[in-house]
Structure 1
């Protein structure tokens, strides 16, 4: 708990850079004090060793803030979505402490999407960046729709994440419905042959199959299962449309 207090003090003295420094120093003091290690976030299993849990969590908070503020207003349902994530990951007491810091420090400061996304792109594997985009789309969609401003901000983050356009369109299609959604999820054009549809399905099913996520973290497993179900639904939709057996 020291790290969140230190982050707040750092913000008061040196604004956002001070918050980051205070958070990191406070994390070290927490560990020295013999406290239990924080549980991993649903993304931390994917992160490379050179990203500490403290760094990762602070940058995740920053990304949440960027998306919540993307359309110029703070929506309560989007805040609730983020809060529910922290509740499911850390439990009520710690989640409340984190969210207070999120409200008082992170959300009140303009944050560079380029700086945060570039930092994470250099220190995480491609899989985590796809998972992060999926999570950020979930925040944007939690109020019932993903606005144009939110899409533009998500596209910007994806560019700095170095996420391919087909992967971005595939994830977006899981949240924004359109006539060609099924094809976008499978990362193909509507004009492709039936054989190419089958090939694309096998590729995407392999890419998002839950068995590829080797972890004991139930949240990660659930996220992988949701993506896999979307791929299956997309293929079944095209099968029905084309009469593919």
Structure 2
């Protein structure tokens, strides 16, 4: 390969910096003179999964990792609910299209499902390649799966709390998203990440902060399903604020 020859020549002339420059120039030449042929086999999922030096994550990698996390949540309470499976599939179809979603599920069933799936390993991989707000949206998606059968069970909450820890999501943000899926008197305050004895000015400030954090514009680079999820979170923040306003007569 030209890139290796370039690295050797560059090193002999300019040392390590010459080697780097030679390698980069050689890589460009390789792509011109030795283009990758169509049909050339792709890396296996294990290879992709184990990579720790890539700057970005390709859509295929992201989908398989996301589906792996979804499977952990679906199995958390010891039963596999068809409604939860349907929710996950519909989400993938909305995000990636039917053909691509089906391909992702086939790959998962043929390869990934047959081996142990590590939430810690998946989250470590995604932490290096996704922004914080994307990881918040993943948690929102996982809670949506858990609620698809009508309720979010304690084992499901526990596994999502564990995933949130691996994702380095702070406790208040986790509780805020969790509160969006539980209806009780304290939910509105938890969504805005404040205490019930907060002043009206603190409530208003919290609303502005949370509206900014969950604004859909932060996920404009993501697929439609993620943007809709962001809109849902943003709407829940607005509803929480309106609930507190009515309660206090603000």
* 1:192 to partner: Cα distance: 0.9
Question: What residue number does 1:20 align with?
Answer: 46
Question: What residue number does 1:80 align with?
Answer: 86
**1:6/1:23 contact within 8 Å kept:** no
**Deviation readout 1:55-101 (Å, 9 max, x if unpaired):** 22221121111111111111101110111122223333332232233
Gaps of 5+ in 1: 8-17, 25-47
**2:215/2:231 contact within 8 Å kept:** yes
* 1:228 to partner: Cα distance: 1.1
* Residue 89 to residue 187, structure 1, CA distance change in 2 (3 Å): same
Question: What residue number does 1:187 align with?
Answer: 193
Question: What residue number does 2:131 align with?
Answer: 125
* 1:157 to partner: Cα distance: 0.4
Question: What residue number does 1:110 align with?
Answer: 116
* Residue 51 to residue 150, structure 1, CA distance change in 2 (3 Å): same
* Residue 236 to residue 153, structure 1, CA distance change in 2 (3 Å): same
* 1:216 to partner: Cα distance: 7.6
Larger radius of gyration: 2
* 1:119 to partner: Cα distance: 1.8
**Deviation readout 1:194-244 (Å, 9 max, x if unpaired):** 111111111111222234443484333322221111011000100011111
Q: TM-score, normalised by structure 1?
A: 0.77
* 1:49 to partner: Cα distance: 4.3
> In structure 1, which of residues 62, 74, 89 is the aligned counterpart of residue 68 of structure 2?
62
Matched, 1:174 2:180: yes
**1:171/1:185 contact within 8 Å kept:** yes
| Whole-angstrom CA distance in 1 between matches of 2:47 and 2:223 | 29
Gaps of 5+ in 2: 1-38
* 1:106 to partner: Cα distance: 3.0
* 1:105 to partner: Cα distance: 3.3
RMSD of aligned Cα (Å): 2.5
**1:188/1:197 contact within 8 Å kept:** yes
Question: What residue number does 2:148 align with?
Answer: 142
Q: TM-score, normalised by structure 2?
A: 0.75
| Whole-angstrom CA distance in 1 between matches of 2:222 and 2:164 | 27
Matched, 1:202 2:208: yes
In the TM superposition, structure 1's runs of 4+ consecutive aligned residues that sit over 6 Å from their partners are none
